[in-house]
Amino acid sequence: MNARLKKIADLIDDEAFSLDIGCDHAKLDIYLVQEKGHKKVASSDNKEGPLEKAKENIKKANCEDAIELLLGDGLDVYHRGIDTVVISGMGGYQMLKILKQGKKHLPSIKTLLLSPNNFIPKVRMEVSKLGYKIVEEELVQEKNMVYTILKFERGKKKLSSKDAFFGPILRKKRDALFLAQLEREQKAKELLLNLMPKKLSKRRHTLKKELKWIQEEK
């Protein structure tokens, strides 16, 4: 089990009934049962192939009684009792699509654990507009990749553009990975700005604003 999935599992409440959308191998769900003592877990995928892989892994781990496997698109598989939804290892826009399409279920879903591969500021902002507030954020390094994990709970909390950009909790904690990420982002954005044609003035303006934010945040 990799560090990213382990960190997600550690952020799931002990009493939660979780649904892992896009479970693929179902390693997270097996870990929840075997290591965290969860009695009931739901794992879903919208493709037969990954679900077959999940089924095999669950059988090997002897977790068939605790893990419910569901085939379907996003929150279509949601059923009563599930209070926590995990979506990880997908693009940010794909996650937002799943949440918006299943909007009618959101009032029953107390907690969301999201680990988007990209467009993280957009995910923070849009999920906040769906009736959630960020309660925890973690960065996890695996090889040369840094993953962001966002924990949301039902509620309201205004998110500024800077909070959405950096992460309201990450910028408070300022741990080593966060500071290293700021350095990396600054270099990448400076390079991009140097290469960007002058005629793309709107994009250049945004980049300059973000670079100023990064400078202030360091």
Ligand X SMILES: C[S@@+](CC[C@H](N)C(=O)[O-])C[C@H]1O[C@@H](n2cnc3c(N)ncnc32)[C@H](O)[C@@H]1O
- Residue ranges in contact with ligand X by CB under 6 A: 21-24, 44-47, 50, 73-74, 88-90, 94, 98
- Answer for the pair 118, 92: CB distance below 8 angstroms, yes or no: yes
The residue with its CB nearest to ligand X is 22
Q: CA 197, CA 201: separation in Å to the nearest integer? A: 8
**Closest distance of CB 6 from ligand X, Å:** 11
Q: Which residues is 145 bridged to in the sheet? A: 142
Cβ proximity to ligand X: between 73 and 217 the closer is: 73
First to last CA, the chain: 33
**Closest distance of CB 215 from ligand X, Å:** 33
Cβ proximity to ligand X: between 115 and 128 the closer is: 115
- Answer for the pair 95, 87: CB distance below 8 angstroms, yes or no: yes
Cβ proximity to ligand X: between 74 and 167 the closer is: 74
Q: Cβ atoms within 10 A of the Cβ of 141, count?
A: 14
Cβ proximity to ligand X: between 145 and 195 the closer is: 145
**Closest distance of CB 52 from ligand X, Å:** 11
Q: CA 88, CA 114: separation in Å to the nearest integer? A: 6
Cβ proximity to ligand X: between 1 and 188 the closer is: 1
127: left (phi over 0), alpha (psi -120 to 50) or beta: alpha
**Closest distance of CB 80 from ligand X, Å:** 19
**Closest distance of CB 44 from ligand X, Å:** 6
What single-letter amino acid sits at 99?
L
